[in-house]
Chains A and B, each alone.
Chain A
Amino acid sequence: MTILNQSLHWMQWPENRLKVASLILLLTLSACDPFPGSKQQATSTTTEKTRISFWNGFTGPDGQTMWEIVRQFEADYPQYEVEMEIIPWSTYFDKLMVSLGSGKPPDVFILHENELVNYVLQDAIRPLDDLVNGPQGVPVSDCLSSIWERVRIKVPGQSEANIYGIPLDCHDEAVYYNKDCFRQLGVPLPEQLDRDNFFHLARQLTIDQDKDGRPDQWGFVFGGSVRRHLYTLTAQFGGQFLDRENGICLIDQPASQKALQILYDAINKDGYMPNPIHDGSNLWQGFLQGRIAMYTDGIWMMNGMKKLADFDWGVLPYPQLGDQKAVWASSHVLCLPRFSDTIDGEAAWIFLTYLSNHGVDWSDGGQLPARYSQLASPDFTQKEHYPVFAAQIPDIIFGPNDPNIIEIETRMEPCLLSAMSGQQPMLKMVQEIKGSVESILRRGVD
């Protein structure tokens, strides 16, 4: 009771109440700094080097390769300091989008070639024509023409296409194979895979030793995203996935149907591939453990493979199962933001061209250079296995170049996986993909 009385008594003093109110007001106001930029300005005036912020999603061993190139750049250009931020691809685009919208984007950033068009239509990317054709430009004729076409984009309302990115690399797919699996069965190593030898070889290398109906060794795996194999095989049969001009998804056309049939049969009829629905996360591990003889995946897996001393492996070109050669590929593209409060355009361009000029060094991270001269340089051609990927460059195809491609692919991948694994009827999935893709195409870009 005494304490209660004392507190009431205390509250009755007007001057004390005023003091409390003033204190609260002071605390509230002190939380609001009227000069938010003052500290930043003080810091920036003390730094002598020009800072270049560079964002990418190279979270694997490729990040280490990029670090080395960046350090070399800083040594070659001591007036610049690069702040490289490696962000997992899963959250990279969230952060990039917010930074672009808020006017504080990185000075240089990476996109995949298929993502570029959407960012361009969002007015997020700076056209680079003046820089490319300027005194410190990029030799356009030396860049891989197929990728170069992907970075030249015509925005509605403009008369000509502009250059919106500089290709850093090219990454296509091939077949990694375990030589021991071939040796143990006495199967000669093929020089290439085509429809004459592929299916026979895949079945031959599938072994069920204990006869429990579940193979102990699988012959072949179409690894990674199913859609990449759909694009590749559809192109091999002379078709394409989208007819953008007419807003039609061509997945129900014969070329795509043949491609889907191969993917379906691999699991459900021929049985040389484990069901990715059951073992999806373990398939690459299964290959490294010797349970899978051949595995298709991108060149980016090379970086990890090189470190496996006890694993005897090789690389074959992607199988030609259709009438013509084709293999899916993509590319990392270097971009500059259109709107930025912080960018030092000259420094960013110098750094960007430096990366582009060091494509051979970057290939150590598991990539192909995006320039003809770099592909022909002895430093690159003497690398083991890389030439197999490089030899496919004339046959590379890219995914559909639609501003909504990320939505389209996110929408169709689970359907493809369900159809391929036999969980859902193929016909139903084909109709569902066609319906949803055409609906997205009709809607266009918001």
Chain B
Amino acid sequence: MTTEYKRSKNLQSLIHFSYTVPYLLLFLCWLVIPIIAGFLVSLTKWTFISGKYQLVGLKNYVDAFADELFLKGIQNTIYYTVMTVIGGNLFSFFLAYGLTRVQRFRNLFRKVFFIPLLLSVGITGIMWRWLYNTDFGLLNYYLGFFGLKNTNWLGDARISMPAVALMAIWGSCGFNMLIYYAGIREIPTELKEAATIDGAGGFYQLWSIILPLIRPKILFCLVMSTIGSIQVFDRAYMLTGVGPYFANYTAIFHIYYQAFRYFRMGYASACAFVLALLILAFTSLLFRFLGKHEEYY
């Protein structure tokens, strides 16, 4: 290997690296530095407006774990996450699977399912609030045909969070559906044909061929859904606020209120880091169970 070749290689690497510089600068300014700054803030009692601060060590973290409302927020967040991640991904997958099985109007359905994702949460929030309205809502109107009494969807502490989750599943199913749809379409038809010749039925093909082969897509969708769900705020805020007796009070609500309403920046930052750890724990679990890389074809 000549010196000239090495120099040429180094220069080439430098050029390749330079392509990433704009992104790295943004990444540094908008992510790395704020994360470090956020952690430092979490160790202080900081008066944001006047800029005065006092180092308090880990007190904010201790306070966070002793704060019943924050723990309630975490509990609600996990409840919501489980509902939306499992329910949403199942729904999206079956939509995608159904789409691969139909021939007519496939493109139309694909667009229709994707439309909710394009609408602002503000608009869909108002729309769903009317759908859920106890007296005039369409949901209760149609349920009335089956002899069911009017349900107080958003005012009953037991069902208001599932009501928010249902709206979220509807709103975000289009994105995951496209990923699953692409994944299923990528599977070589030879595999399915061979399975059919071997006598495998629809369910067996789904279980033994489709699901294992789209595992990377499932992992991606689960991870993205989990991160999005743990950060839930806008949908709950639009539909119910904190909800009846804090039923829809999520961890982000707590962080938002503490930081921007009560001016407790240090404490809010500590809560945000606890939430980040929760996201890390959830995604690590998903990678552990679904992240094994296996090549099937």
Contacts and interface: CB of A to CB of B under 8 A. Distances in A.
Given A418-B157, A418-B245, A122 B152 contact: no
B244 A414 contact: yes
Nearest to A22: B18
B192 to A, nearest CB: 34
Contacts of A94: 260
Nearest to B63: A443
Contacts of B147: none
B134 A446 contact: no
Given A93-B260, A278-B152, A418-B244, A122 B49 contact: yes
A122 B47 contact: yes
A118 interface: yes
B6 interface: no
A24 B245 contact: no
Given A17-B11, A28-B25, A417-B244, A97 B49 contact: yes
Interface in B221-279: 242-246, 257, 260-264, 266-267
B19 interface: yes
A11 interface: yes
A123 B244 contact: no
A273 to B, nearest CB: 15
Contacts of B14: 21
Nearest to B245: A418
Interface string B14-55: 110011011001000000000000000000010111111000
A24 B22 CA distance: 9
A277 B244 contact: yes
Contacts of B162: none
Contacts of A282: 133, 135-136
A144 interface: no
A interface, by DSSP: helix, strand, loop or mixed?
helix
A122 B263 contact: yes
Nearest to B241: A414
Interface in A1-60: 11, 14, 17, 20-21, 24-25, 27-28, 31
Give the size range of B's interface with the partner: 35 or more
B116 interface: no
A162 to B, nearest CB: 16
A410 interface: yes
A411 interface: yes
Nearest to B46: A446
A98 to B, nearest CB: 8
Nearest to B11: A17
A294 interface: no
Contacts of B208: none
Contacts of B157: 418, 423
A424 interface: yes
A20 B15 contact: yes
Interface in A111-147: 118-119, 122-124
B75 to A, nearest CB: 15
Contact of B50 (A27, A118, A124, A415): A124
A24 B260 contact: no
B155 interface: yes
A418 B245 CA distance: 6
A415 B49 contact: no
12 contacts: A14-B11, A17-B11, A17-B15, A24-B22, A122-B263, A278-B152, A278-B155, A281-B133, A407-B262, A423-B244, A446-B45, A446-B266
The 8 A-B residue pairs with the shortest CB-CB distance, nearest first, are A123-B50, A277-B155, A418-B245, A124-B49, A94-B260, A122-B49, A446-B264, A101-B48
Interface of B: 11-12, 14-15, 18-19, 21-22, 25, 45, 47-52, 68-69, 129, 133-136, 152, 155-157, 242-246, 257, 260-264, 266-267
Interface of A: 11, 14, 17, 20-21, 24-25, 27-28, 31, 93-94, 97, 100-101, 118-119, 122-124, 277-282, 339, 404, 406-407, 410-411, 414-415, 417-418, 423-424, 436, 446
Given A94-B260, A123-B47, A124-B49, 18 more contacts: A14-B11, A24-B18, A24-B19, A24-B21, A24-B22, A28-B22, A93-B261, A97-B260, A277-B155, A279-B135, A282-B135, A339-B49, A339-B50, A414-B242, A417-B245, A423-B156, A423-B245, A436-B69
